[in-house]
């Protein structure tokens, strides 16, 4: 199966770098818009009130092979799990609208036609931001297929389309990156991985200070906590949403891989050590909660995929609920659900079998995009 973790479109190394270097650095939609936007917008806490969640019903045979129908069905289950709690906007190809309606249901759900390559809307759809009056903006981080590793001709235009449909002020960053690579507390602190943002396949020639400065303007940040991540082990170059998540300001859930044969065994311990010493933008130490992946679970064609992403850390908080994956490891599933129930009091923890999506190297957070209220 051609999956998210496999390279679908490799460029000759020198040609790729030359092409990326030649790309015009994006600005706000107009000079006037850029001038008015600088310093105005910030990215809110994800666990705050939301207007809706966006999903891309975009699985295709070209990318997912014969398992694409299983992925479509999984997206349908996910939408139906969310719909009792929040409005859901489903992007779909015009010719697949009837199927999307059949699988996703039509309760609290709106279907919007879009040209799509794949399902990873967290990365392709941009990042919603708000100004001090609560007006909505959307920052386009110029999706390039995680460094030209996958076809993205259609997905490269999704963020602008989402901003139009959401009636959000459209802003383009000068950086290339993805929403899955951003984790914020809504109060000026972000956690990011160096392997993703400080990478020549996205931002060649830019220093750490330059990347920081642009992200602070784009997202209203005052401090960035950098984790090393790891390059080249997955298609995203280690997005932070598989390593550390803000529950609320000052409280962070961290992935802790307990499989000594996994490359993440060392990486997650490095991240823990950094976060134990870190402070937020206001100088406060972080309260950390460990959430390990399962070591067991279902044995099927999906879980046997070399790209299978069995991580609970990629959960999604929404209005009144937290949507989590379950992998058939009863003890690990229960630990995850109990922990998140404690950390998100008053919200229902809803577990969904996402094995077909996990086989492509992603999870619930990867295929959704929350819009703040």
Q: Per residue in 267-295, pLDDT tens?
A: 999 999 999 999 999 999 999 999 999 99
Q: Per residue in 93-109, pLDDT tens?
A: 999 999 999 999 998 99
**Phi, psi (deg, nearest 5) at residue 367:** -105, 15
* d(C-alpha 286, C-alpha 249), whole Å: 9
Say which of 92, 104, 336, 366 is annotated catalytic: 366
Mean pLDDT of the chain: 91
In a domain, 224, yes or no: yes
**Token pair of 342, please?**
């404690």
Task: Tell which wins on pLDDT, 163 or 34.
Answer: 163
**Phi, psi (deg, nearest 5) at residue 171:** -130, 140
In a domain, 183, yes or no: yes
In a domain, 85, yes or no: yes
Q: What is each CA distance from 192 to 182, 189, 203, in whole angstroms?
A: 6, 10, 15
Is residue 213's pLDDT more than 80?
yes
> What average pLDDT does the segment 77-84 reach?
98
Q: What is the CATH number of the domain that holds 199?
A: 3.75.10.10
What residues form DSSP beta bridges with 252? 246, 288
Residues with Cβ < 8 Å from 178, sequence gap 6 or more?
Answer: 122, 123, 124, 141, 143, 146, 196, 236, 239
Q: Per residue in 125-167, pLDDT tens?
A: 999 999 999 999 999 999 999 999 999 999 999 999 999 999 9
Q: Per residue in 172-195, pLDDT tens?
A: 999 999 999 999 999 999 999 999
Is residue 2's pLDDT more than 50?
no
In a domain, 28, yes or no: no
Q: Which helix (H) or strand (E) holds 78?
A: helix 68-82
In a domain, 320, yes or no: yes
Is residue 199's pLDDT more than 90?
yes
Q: What pLDDT does 107 receive?
A: 87
Is residue 42's pLDDT more than 80?
yes
Q: How many CB atoms lie within 10 A of CB 185?
A: 26
In a domain, 14, yes or no: no
> What average pLDDT does the segment 36-54 reach?
86
Give me the number of domains the chain comprises.
1
Total count of residues recorded for the chain: 373
In a domain, 19, yes or no: no
Range of the domain at 310: 41-372
In a domain, 3, yes or no: no
Please confirm, yes or no, whether 92 is among the known catalytic residues.
no
């Amino acid at each position: 199966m051609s999956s998210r973790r496999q390279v679908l479109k490799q460029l000759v190394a020198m040609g790729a770098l030359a092409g990326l270097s030649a790309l015009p650095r994006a600005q706000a939609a107009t000079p006037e818009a850029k001038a008015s936007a600088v310093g105005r917008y910030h990215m809110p806490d994800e666990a705050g009130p939301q207007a809706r969640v966006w999903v891309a019903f975009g699985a295709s045979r070209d990318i997912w092979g014969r398992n694409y129908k299983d992925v479509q069905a999984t997206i349908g289950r996910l939408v139906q799990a969310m719909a009792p709690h929040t409005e859901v906007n489903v992007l779909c190809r015009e010719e697949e609208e009837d199927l999307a309606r059949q699988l996703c249901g039509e309760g609290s759900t709106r279907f919007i036609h879009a040209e799509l390559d794949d399902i990873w809307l967290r990365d392709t759809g941009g990042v919603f931001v708000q100004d001090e009056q609560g007006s909505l903006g959307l920052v386009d981080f110029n999706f390039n297929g995680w460094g030209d590793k996958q076809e993205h001709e259609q997905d490269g235009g999704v963020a602008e389309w989402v901003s139009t449909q959401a009636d959000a002020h459209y802003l383009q960053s000068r950086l290339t990156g993805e929403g899955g690579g951003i984790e914020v507390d809504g109060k000026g602190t972000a956690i990011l991985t160096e392997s993703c943002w400080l990478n020549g396949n996205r931002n060649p020639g830019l220093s750490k200070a330059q990347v920081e400065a642009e992200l602070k303007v784009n997202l209203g940040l005052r401090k960035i906590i950098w984790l090393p991540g790891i390059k080249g082990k997955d298609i995203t170059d280690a997005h932070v949403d598989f390593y550390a998540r803000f529950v609320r300001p000052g409280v962070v859930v961290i992935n802790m891989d307990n499989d000594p044969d996994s490359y993440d065994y060392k990486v997650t311990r490095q991240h823990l050590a950094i976060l134990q010493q870190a402070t937020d933008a206001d100088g406060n130490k972080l309260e950390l909660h460990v959430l390990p992946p399962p070591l067991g679970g279902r044995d099927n064609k999906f879980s046997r995929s070399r790209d299978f992403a069995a991580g609970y850390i990629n959960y999604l908080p929404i209005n009144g609920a937290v949507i989590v994956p379950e992998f058939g490891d009863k003890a690990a599933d229960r630990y995850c659900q109990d922990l998140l129930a404690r950390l998100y009091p008053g919200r229902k923890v809803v577990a969904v079998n996402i094995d077909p999506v996990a086989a492509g190297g992603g999870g619930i957070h990867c295929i959704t995009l929350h819009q703040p209220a």
